[in-house]
Structures are given as C-alpha cells and as structure tokens.
Chain A
Amino acid sequence: MKGSKAIVGVFSYLDDTIKAVESAKEAKLDYQVYSPVPNHYLEHATSDTRSPVRFFTSLGAVTGLTGGFALAILCSLDYPLRVSAKAIASVPAFVVIGYECTILLGAIATLTALFHFCRLPDIFRKVGYDPRFSDDKFGVVIGCESGQIDEVSQKLKDAGAEEVSVKDGL
C-alpha cells in the first residue's frame, strides 16, 4: 500500500463501506477493504478486472491431461508387457488416468494460483486489520502520507465510519 500511514475506518453497514471506497477511488488513494464475507456490490465497487486464477487452472488442467496420458503411455512402452492381448498403449484404458490427472493438476494449479494472488500465507502483515472484520464489521484502510491524515479521516467519517484510527503504513 502506498503511503507511510494507514487510516482505518470501521463500518457497520455495507452501503457506508461502498461509499468510503468510492470516495477513496475518487481521491485516487490506495485503499484496502476488509470484509467478513465477499459481496457482489462490494466487489463491483472495488474491482476492475476478473481474477486471473482461471488461466492457471486451465494451464494446470491441460498439463494434467497431456501428462496423464503421457505418463500412462510412456510407462507402458518403457517396459512393454502384454496383458490379455490388449494393446501395449491401450488409450481407452488411459482415459481414466488422463481424466484424473486433469482434475488433480487443475485443482493444484488453482490452489497455487490462489495462494499466489492472495499472497498466502500472509501471517504477519495485517495493516489496519481488526478482529471485528471477520465478524460483522467492514473495514476500509486508506494509505496516505502523514500530511493527508486529517483529510482522509474526514472522508471516512463522512462515509459513515464508526471509528477511525491511524496506523503506520508499510
């Protein structure tokens, strides 16, 4: 987050939170919303792009599909042993392997992407976080320089913040 200070506003209501976000966006300030639950309206207010996780997923899935088939076929060809007159590389049987590998690698890729984009695990950096944010409160954290503290605090209060505090930014 840009800025040396972080101003934390605690909200009880979603519409207030959205207001605060919008005013921060207007002021071109860097902000961060903490919410106990994802919300369509909030998402609409904050986000601009779709999550790129899905690209990782499809990459993983394609790798899994080809890898699964490749594993089965190459392993069978490496030490060719006939079973019951079936072909050494009997593709119909390997569909299951390919299928399961698609899902496995797809899921693992998704998980990796999720962790990557969410910067998880992220145990120690919680600027402006308040335990109530996992309960029923919303939090809007705005990053600013020391000079802007009052101005930003006022913005949050205007939006309907119940509490505003100032923390050291990162």
Chain B
Amino acid sequence: MTTAAAADAEETKVDYKAVNDIVLRMLEPPGMGWFLLLLLCVGTAAIGGLCWLTQVMNGMGVAGIAHPIMWGVYITNFVFWVGIAHSGTLISAVLYLFRAKFRMPIYRLAEAMTVFAVMTAGLFPIIHIGRPWFAYWLMPYPNERALWPNFRSPLLWDVFAVSTYFTVSAVFFVVGLIPDIAAARDRATCKIRKFVYTLTSLGWTGKHRNWKHYEAAYLLFAAFATPLVVSVHSVVSWDFAMGNVPGWHATIFPPYFVAGAIFSGVAMVITLMIPIRKIFHLEPLVRLEHFEAMAKLIMLTSGIVTYAYVTEFYTAWWSNNPYERYQFWFRPFGEFKLAFWGMTFCNCIAPLSLWYKPLRTNITFLFILSIVINIGMWLERFNIIFTSLSREFLPAVWGGYNFSWVEFGITIGAFGWFGMWMTLFIKFFPAVAITEIKMIMPPPVRDENALDHH
C-alpha cells in the first residue's frame, strides 16, 4: 500500500457505530473459503494427532531424537510457540501500560494468538515426554505415593510458569472480550448466536460502576501480565541455561529469549494480521502506521537478538572453556552450519531492510519478512537445542540427528491446531477490540467545549 492510500484510510471518518459495523461484520455467517480453511486446519491437526498416537503406541523411538540429542523438534516447537505467545501479551499488556495507542486495533488478535499459542506450546512437553500418561505427576497434589515433585527442577518451574501464563493470559483475554461479546450479542439476529453470546458475555451491560471496576481490574491484569511475560520466557530459557551443556549454560539466555520471543511474536502477529485485514476489510481500523510501529519493534528486537548472538560467541572465546569454544566453532562450521547461517540471515540480516522506510511501510514486504523471521526463530531454537546437544563434553558420544516423519507430522499438526482455534475465533468472537478502539476515539459530543467544564 502506498502512502497515499494510507492517507485515504486516515481520512475515513470512523465513529462508534462504524466500529461496531466493521468489526461485527466479521462475525457474519462464513463463506466456503472459511470452511475450507477450517477443514485444512482440522485436517492438519488430525494428522498431528495421529502421529502422536503412533508415538504413544510404539514409544518415543518413532521420533528422530536419539542419544545424545534427547531434546529435539518437540522442545524446539515448545519454545517456538511460547515465543509466539509472548508478543501477544506484550502488545496487550505492556503497551497498555505504556499507553501505546497503536496497540488498540491489533491487540485482540495478538492476545488470541497468545492464548492459542500457549495452548499449542503446552501440548509439546506432554507430547515430548516418554510416559505422557504420567504427566500429572508434575503437579503438586496430595497423593497415595506421599511424593511431591521436585521444585528445584527448571521443568517444574516451567509447569508453574506456563500454567500461570496460560491462566493469566486467558483471563486477560476473556475479560477484554466481555464488553465486545456484549456488543455482538446486541447485534446478533440468529437465536443460537444470541443465546451463546448472552451466556458468554455474562450479562455485561456497560453499567458505569462495572466500568469502574473493569478498568481497575484491567489495569491490574496488565500490571501482572507484564512481569509474567518476562518471567515466563526467562523460565523457559532456564530450561537450557540451568543445564551444563556447552552452548546452553549462559547467563545471557533470559533477556535473549525474551527479546527473541517478542521478535518472533510480532512477526507472527504481522503474518496473521495482514491477511485478516485484507479479507475482512479492516483497513480503516488497522492502519499502516500500526504496521510500521510493529516493524520498528522488530528492528529493535532483531538488534537485541543479534547482540545476544555476538555476545555468546564472545563469551565462549573469552571464557577459554574448551567445550564452549568447540561448541561455538561447531555452530558456524560444523554439521548443522546451515541452520546457523539460516538463522543469522533470517534474524540478523533480513530485518536490517526495515531501516529503509519504503520497505517498512510495504505490506507485502512485511508479510514476507515476517515469515522469514518466523523460520529464523525456529532455526534459532534448533541451533540452541540440537547443535549444543550434539557436541558435548565427551567426544565419544557426539552424535547427529535425523528428522522422522512423526516429528514432522506433529510439527505441522501444531500449526493446524493453532490455525483451527484462530479460524474458529475470528468467526465467533470479535477479533478486533471494539471497546478499546472506541476508547481512543473522541466521544460523540453535542458541544465541543461542554466537557471541559468538568
């Protein structure tokens, strides 16, 4: 889109009613395209499910992981999806606290992405473990074995962090949705829809006292979600940093992971937002300036991530630790060098293009770049997990890795699973925050100066 077109969008006058019109139009009965998309997503998810079934029936052996690379695609996917989740919370909570107005039109989608990405991420530790039917042993509950989980394990921290993250972001998401569902309820003509929205909006009517509590609570949620988002990816990074594997054991991991998560998450938001904006004609609400703001966020986080990569190499060299040194020699020049250079290109070099404004404001370019970044971030996790594990302390047990079709199927299935929720969500609930957009709009007044008396 050119700048002229952007200006056009700017000029389009949008009032309260128009917001409802534009957003709730998205909930109109779906066409064939939507059903095909849903079928595609459900189908892919089902393939993933079947692959998992195969794995449960036969044992973990059907996956490609093997001694010494005990963590593989599943944990890569876990970190990847948790990372995706992060930008949602960042956009909805952190930017809320910073009063960044550009968040308003995109935050609902970003937050839905968060919840669904955590739902996807949360599956992977269970898919990954050898005896998934005992996954509940990680929960501290009184049991007939008189045993408790080990609170010193980073994996248990993960259980707490991810479940807290899921709960809090789901609450934040749902609370934000309530007034919008009420709006949808009031517009709904279909009886079933009306009934469902009546229930799910919990009878929200926008009473002035409720708004007072609502705003107070919303601020508090945002205040909780902000440290949470930082802690969750830090905890995820500690899964690695707490290990003694050369290439894992680094203090830089938490900030590096958080930045990486935001980086990939923003890219994912762009990937999702561009087609949705196009399909549902949201241009008046989601404007070019919003994309540009996100592009700038990518520039920032890409810089942080690049810095972290360089620091890792520097630390390895400076530490004079032979294992670390070998590891960081191995990454760019060893067996998995393609992954390393792919990562470097996608995460460090490609985003540099955004310094050039015409590219930064080109929607097509942004869409392509966001996908490149997503690939790059997946490769980053691959690098951290696989490459480090393949070259550890004892040369006798250095090993390699082979993908298996089961892992591939489950990875694809995760995208299907995530896509399925997204597809369902955009047709059933307002995917753009009606209330919040209205909040940044000037309220309708009879007398422009009347409000100033108060």
Contacts and interface: CB of A to CB of B under 8 A. Distances in A.
A79 B161 contact: no
A45 B149 contact: no
Interface stretch (A2-10, A98-106, A148-156): A98-106
Given A104-B167, A132-B186, A15 B16 contact: no
A interface, size bucket:
35 or more
Nearest to B438: A37
A107 B168 CA distance: 6
A38 interface: yes
A50 B238 CA distance: 40
B210 A118 contact: yes
Nearest to B157: A96
Contacts of A12: 444, 446
Interface residues of B, number: 67
Contacts of A29: none
Interface string A35-73: 111110111111100110110010000000000100110
Contact of A113 (B204, B217, B451): B217
A71 B149 CA distance: 11
Contact of A76 (B148, B175, B212, B443): B148
A96 B186 contact: no
Contacts of B353: none
A28 interface: no
A114 B213 contact: yes
Contacts of A50: 216
Interface string B202-236: 11111111111111110011001001100100010
B203 A120 contact: yes
Contacts of A136: 15-17, 20, 444
Contact of B187 (A79, A86, A135): A135
Interface of A: 12-16, 18, 32-39, 41-47, 50-51, 53-54, 57, 68, 71-72, 75-76, 78-79, 81, 83, 86, 90, 93-94, 96-97, 99-101, 103-104, 106-108, 110-111, 113-115, 117-118, 120-126, 129, 131-136, 160
23 contacts: A12-B446, A14-B444, A36-B435, A37-B439, A50-B216, A54-B216, A71-B140, A78-B148, A93-B157, A104-B167, A114-B214, A117-B210, A120-B203, A121-B202, A122-B203, A122-B204, A123-B202, A129-B205, A131-B187, A134-B20, A134-B185, A134-B205, A160-B446
Given A50-B216, A96-B157, 12 more contacts: A33-B208, A36-B438, A37-B439, A38-B214, A96-B161, A114-B217, A115-B202, A118-B209, A134-B179, A134-B182, A135-B20, A136-B20
